[in-house]
Amino acid sequence: MRNRRRKMANMLEGAENPLNVAVTARDRSALQMATEAVKHKQCMLAFQPVMQVNPPHGVAFHEGFIRVLDDTGRVIPAREFMPVVEETEIGRELDCIALETGLRTLARNPGVRLSINMSARSIGYQRWMRVLERFLKRDRTLGERLILEITESSAMLVPELVIDFMDRLQSRGIAFALDDYGASNFSFRHFRNFFFDAVKIDGQFVRGVGADPENQALIRALVAVAREFEILVIAESVESEEDAAFLVANGVDCLQGYLFGAPSVNPPWKQKNDGRATA
C-alpha cells in the first residue's frame, strides 16, 4: 500500500497542472497579440477624465491608457496584456507608443493636459527618451501639460534611477504621479527623495469605501501622509456618489472613475478637421 501511494504521488508530481497550462497558454496568447499590434501599428490611447474636487469642478486632466487591437479589430484594455509584457521588449515599445501618441495629442490640442503611464524599465530605453526629446525640441511647453505616472512597484525597482530621472525632467515642466499609492511596500520616507507631484490612491481601497470602515481609515492615513509632503491626492476607481462624498470630505483633491466617465478612444476634443482626427 505504501509503495502504491508513493507511485501515485510520483505520477502526480510529473503531471502537468491544468491551471498552469491554461495560464501559460493565456499569457502566450496575450504576448502574441501585443506583439502583432505593435508590429502592425494597431495601438491607441483611451482617455479618462480626472475631475477637480474644488471649484471650478472641471476636468483637471485626462489619463491616456494604452490599448491594442486584436486580429478582429476589438479594442483590448491594458489589464489583459500589460502584466505579461511588462518585463519584455514589447512592454518598452508600448511605453514608447503611449508616450508618442500622448505627446502628439498634446501638440494638436493646446488646451489638453494628459497623464501617461510608463515603467521605470523604460527610463534607460533609448527610443523612449528620443521620442520625448523630439517633441520637447519642437515645443518646450508640451512638458508643462504632461504628467508621467509610475507605479509604486515599478518605482521601487530602481529608486535611485527614478529619482535622478524625475529631477531631470521636472526641471523641464513635466509632473510625476505615483500610481497605485498604498498598494505595495513603498516606504513613506521615500517621499523625501522622490518629490512626486501627485499620488493616485489604488482603486482596491476606493471601491465601496463609503461603507468600508477599514478602507476609510486607510485612506485617511494615505491622505494625511501626502498632505505632509504637499502632494496632490487623486482617488481612482470612483464608482459611486457615496464613495465620492467620503473622498471629498476627507481631503482628496481629484476623482477619477466610471462615475465620471469610462476610458474612451473618442475624447471630447477629438473633432474632424479636413478629414483628420485631432487626437
For 47-57, how does the pLDDT look when each residue is reduced to its tens digit (9 = 90+)?
999 999 998 89
Q: Give the Å distances, CA to CA, from 190 to 131, 152, 162, 186, 196.
A: 29, 11, 11, 7, 10
Which of 37-41, 249-253, 267-271 comes out lowest in average pLDDT? 267-271
Q: Buried b / exposed e across 254-275, counting CB within 10 Å, b at 16+?
A: bbbbeeebebeeebebbeeeee
Q: What is the pLDDT of residue 82?
A: 85
* Non-local CB neighbours of 13 within 8 Å, separated by 6+ positions: none
pLDDT exceeds cutoff 70 at 232: yes
Can you tell me which residue has the cell 502504491? 4
Percent of the chain predicted with pLDDT > 70: 86
Count Cα neighbours of 41 within 13 Å in the Cβ-side half-sphere.
2
Phi-psi region of 273 (alpha: psi -120 to 50; beta: other; left: phi over 0): beta
**Beta bridge partners of residue 66, listed in sequence order:** 45
List the grid coordinates of 41.
Answer: 501599428
Residue 80 or residue 249, greater confidence: 249
Question: What is the CATH topology of the domain spanning 2-277?
Answer: TIM Barrel (3.20.20)
First to last CA, the chain: 71
DSSP 16: P
| Residues 93-147 pLDDT 10s | 999 999 999 999 999 999 999 999 999 999 989 999 999 999 999 999 999 999 9
* Non-local CB neighbours of 140 within 8 Å, separated by 6+ positions: 172, 173
List the grid coordinates of 34.
Answer: 501585443
pLDDT exceeds cutoff 70 at 200: yes
* Residue 95 C-alpha from the chain's centroid: 11
> What ranges in 60-88 are assigned the alpha helix state H?
82-85
